[in-house]
Structure formats: C-alpha cells, structure tokens
Amino acid sequence: MGNDLKLRRWRDADCRMIYDWRSDPETMRWCFDQKAFSYDEHADWFNRFLNDSRRCGFVLEDAGQPVAQLRFDPAELPGSYRISLAVAPGRSGKGYGSSILHLACRDAEIRRRAVLLVAETMNDNLPSQKIFVRNGFINAGSGESRGLGFVSWLLPLTVSAQPLPIQFFAEPAWLEDVEKVLSETGLALSGDSTARIKLFMGAAVSNNELYSSIILHLNISNAVVLDLAIRYPGELALPVEFCNLSTAVAQIAASLNFLQTS
C-alpha cells in the first residue's frame, strides 16, 4: 500500500468497474446474495443508487488507481447506516479494506446523517472481521441471512454525555447481552421505572404505561421484529425485522438519539 491514498465519491464511470469487482469469484464468496445478475441489472441499480440522496458510495484510490469501494445504505431505523465494502480483485491483504473503512467512517456527511453504523461479516470471513475490530467496531453477536451465519458489528459515531435511560421488560438471559452492547456503544442505559422509554421484549405491554411513555415492543418469538411503536418521534413502517436482538436495541437507541437531536 502506497502513501498516496485518496477517498472519493462514486461516479458514473465506476459502474462497470464495480460490477466487475462484484462479479469476481473471490468477492462473490463473501456476499450474502450469491445470485448472479446481468450488467444491465447492475447498471439500473447503480443509477438508482447515485440518484438516491439517502445513499453514499466511496472509492479508495492509491496513486490514482481504484483499490477498494464502500457504500452506505440506510439501515432499518433512522439514524443508522449499513456498510458494505470490497477490495479490488488481487488487492486483498494490503490494508486497503481497513483504510477505506477508516476514511469513510469519518466523512462529515455520513456523521450528519447517522449516529450508528452497522455491518455484517460471514462467520468464517476472518479477514473482514479483523478490519472491523481494527477500526473500533463492537461485536453485537450473531445472526443469519439467506441461510448463512454472520457476526454483526456496530460503531457509534457520537458519544452522548447522557445516554438514554430505557426501562427494559425482558428475560434476564436476553437483557445481559443487550445491556453489554448498549454500555459499549454508549447509546443508552438500563433505567428504572421513571424512564420515559419502555421497551418490551417477548412480553405484553402494560396498560399502565400506555399514556405517557414511548412504548416499543420487540417480538422475538421467531425473528426479531419491532411490531409496536407508540409515541415514537419519527415515521415507521411496521413491522421492522432485525438480524439479532442486540442490533435491534442499538438501532432503536440510535434512532431516538438521532431524532432527538435532528
């Protein structure tokens, strides 16, 4: 890796390059969506991506040569972005993945749009996992997508001086992992009965709480699904499904932080 690294936005001329990188067998190996697609399908998606103000793509260049690409897509809730990244074929193991992640996560526009970044890596994709660990991401536990197991990663972009107090209604076994992730991200903390935000997990919502608190319910019987949001300060299209419980709660806390300060 050289010393002439430059981060830039995706542009129209990148369409073919990114398609070729995505279609490379080594890249495809680590994609959750293993389905092959035509260049025309890719070009249509790429054009829509560039014209979507909510999304953002970056290319890393070394001495003018593209060596890695990364994109940010809105995650399940406002205030969180999902990361997808890939290194150019034949360029793995040179530190480009870590470099583009480091630079892109510090982009001023991304930091205005989100307070939490989310990523997933396949269980056996150890090189990618090392990249996220090296850049300060927090292990938020495991999940499954399209029959493939993965590890979920979280990076808070802001540190709140006063984390949100949330009263949890959950089994102790569920709550321990959630509280650990929230403590590491600094997004929220477990509050007492005076906390205005009430989060029910696998429990019925109490009628006593319905009239003044922000009420949220996560159904975790089969998947992790947000199926109730009373007095939530933003717009939601329920139900919302998440990859695992800790990521769901972190995104809920991030969205409340984000909407509170927007």
The pair of three-digit structure tokens given for residue 98, joined into one six-digit string? 């870590």
- The rounded distance, in Å, linking the Cα atoms of 245 and 251 is 10
Q: Is 42 helix (H, G, I), strand (E, B) or coil?
A: helix
- In this prediction, residue 2 carries a pLDDT of 59
Q: What is the DSSP string of 119-162?
A: EEEETT-HHHHHHHHHTTPEEEEEEEETTEEEEEEEEESS--SS
Assigned architecture for domain 5-156:
3-Layer(aba) Sandwich (3.40)
Per-residue model confidence as pLDDT tens for the chain (262 residues): 556 899 999 999 999 999 999 999 888 887 877 788 899 999 999 999 999 999 999 999 999 999 999 999 999 999 999 999 999 999 999 999 999 999 999 999 999 999 999 999 999 999 999 999 999 999 999 988 777 899 999 999 987 778 899 999 998 888 999 999 999 999 999 988 899 999 999 877 777 767 789 999 999 988 999 999 999 999 999 999 998 999 999 999 999 999 988 7
**Domain boundary assignment for the chain:** 5-156, 164-261
- In this prediction, residue 212 carries a pLDDT of 80
- In this prediction, residue 1 carries a pLDDT of 59
- In this prediction, residue 37 carries a pLDDT of 85
Residues in the chain: 262
- In this prediction, residue 70 carries a pLDDT of 98
- The rounded distance, in Å, linking the Cα atoms of 197 and 214 is 5
Looking at the domain that runs over 164-261, which CATH code has it been given? Answer: 3.40.50
